[in-house]
């Protein structure tokens, strides 16, 4: 079941105090970005926030679940997203702990080839 755009818009608004929050539709579901970093997914109208150590500490005892079959575990935020201050702080914490997207891309690239002089 695809997520409802109204739910996605509500979540983007709720997290707005954390930074520039945007949503990108992917296969009927959504990836949420904070200042350019993917920080959460919305699947089947449920919010899944990327796991971080400080996020775990902030939540206390998080519910962990994959957003779709075969995915890594995320924090499933079931009701606390109703509290704008709480969810914005979780997103700020998550954002700070996730690597920059440039660093992630550099790790995935093979090192440049060097050619010897003949």
Q: Is residue 44 part of a domain?
A: yes
Is residue 110 in some structural domain?
no
Q: 104 in a domain, yes or no?
A: no
Q: The CATH number of the domain where 86 resides is what?
A: 3.30.1460
111 lies in some domain: no
At 118, the pLDDT band (50, 70, 90 cuts) reads low
Alpha carbon separation from 25 to 4, 8, 56, 67, 108 (Å, rounded) = 11, 10, 27, 15, 24
Q: Higher pLDDT residue, 111 or 44? A: 44
Tell me the residue range of the domain where 52 lies.
Answer: 5-99
Asked whether residue 115 is assigned to any structural domain, the reply reads no
Residues 111 and 27: their CA atoms lie apart, in Å, by 32
Among 33, 25, 20, which Cα is nearest to 5's? 25
pLDDT value of position 109: 46
Question: What's the domain count of the chain?
Answer: 1
Per-residue pLDDT reduced to its tens digit, 7-61 = 999 999 999 999 999 999 988 799 999 999 999 999 999 999 999 999 999 999 9
In a domain, 89, yes or no: yes
Per-residue pLDDT at 85 exceeds 80: yes
């Amino acid at each position: 079941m695809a997520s409802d755009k109204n739910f996605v818009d509500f979540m983007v608004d709720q997290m707005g105090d954390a930074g520039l929050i945007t949503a990108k539709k992917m296969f009927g579901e959504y990836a949420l970005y904070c200042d350019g970093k993917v920080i959460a997914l919305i699947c089947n109208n449920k919010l899944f926030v990327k796991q971080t150590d400080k996020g775990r500490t902030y939540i206390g005892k998080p519910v962990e679940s994959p957003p779709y079959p075969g995915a890594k575990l995320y924090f499933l935020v079931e009701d606390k997203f109703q509290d704008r201050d709480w969810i914005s702080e979780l997103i700020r914490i998550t954002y700070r702990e996730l690597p920059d997207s440039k660093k992630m891309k550099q790790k995935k690239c093979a090192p440049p080839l060097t050619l010897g002089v003949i």
